[in-house]
Amino acid sequence: MNAFFDVLTERWSTAAEPDTTTVLILAGAVVVVMSVHRLWRVLRQASTIIHEMGHVLAAWASGRRVSGIRLHSDTSGVTVSVGRRQGIGMLLTALGGYPAPGLLALGMAALLTAGHAGAALTLYQAVVLLALLLSRNAVGIFSCLLSLAATGLIWWQNDPLIVTYTVVVLAVFYALAGVRGTFDVIRIHTRRRPESASTDASLAARSWRALPLPPFMWLGFFLLVSAGSAVGVVWMFAG
């Protein structure tokens, strides 16, 4: 057990001073990759993992019991939780998904700029590992294992510069994924209205009678948080 904590402590404090030009190049590369539709359709699964974990953490915070999560090959997902069907707990659970990628990106960027890149990567690994433990289908298990493998070796090798730039890539990716995912759900409400009844925004609108806001208000909330998180990431990296 002591050896485990020694490894964790060593990686928690890993950091290196990132080169501004390299950060810009990496950020630009992430933007280009995410702009390719076929690549985004594959990479979006990584965002879905964090989206569902946002629901999980919100459910736990509001006292609900989480049965598990399921990820699907079309990059959609579902979190199953047990509790009251109406009330603030259900509302918070519904609202937890779309802001999650952006908030994760913001947290990782904050840790990086504070000199704790290793802590940021450790946080990411912990969230995805928890998602793996909660996954209840083959697609979810495979997706989480792939995400863990993609960064796990970097975390284990613990090269300060590589860890730092990996965190840069992850923070930029999840900041943009949060915004893009929000626009995707807005598009469902504006262009594919029959499908909009099952979105998180519609679920939030039905979740708590004491706060009967329409779906478009919750869509605005998603956009505000995701866009604000992305701006925060840019501001921290630019500073």
pLDDT in the model for residue 196: 86
pLDDT in the model for residue 197: 87
pLDDT in the model for residue 101: 99
pLDDT in the model for residue 130: 98
pLDDT in tens, 208-228: 988 989 999 999 999 999 999
pLDDT in the model for residue 222: 98
- Spatial CA neighbour of 208 closest among 98, 96, 100, 92: 92
pLDDT in the model for residue 12: 82
pLDDT in the model for residue 102: 98
Tens of pLDDT along the chain (239 residues) come to 667 777 778 888 888 899 999 999 999 999 999 999 999 999 999 999 999 999 999 999 999 999 999 999 999 999 999 999 899 999 999 999 999 999 999 999 999 999 999 999 999 999 999 999 999 999 999 999 999 999 999 999 999 999 999 999 999 999 999 999 999 999 999 988 788 888 999 999 999 988 989 999 999 999 999 999 999 999 999 87
pLDDT in the model for residue 135: 98
pLDDT in the model for residue 1: 64
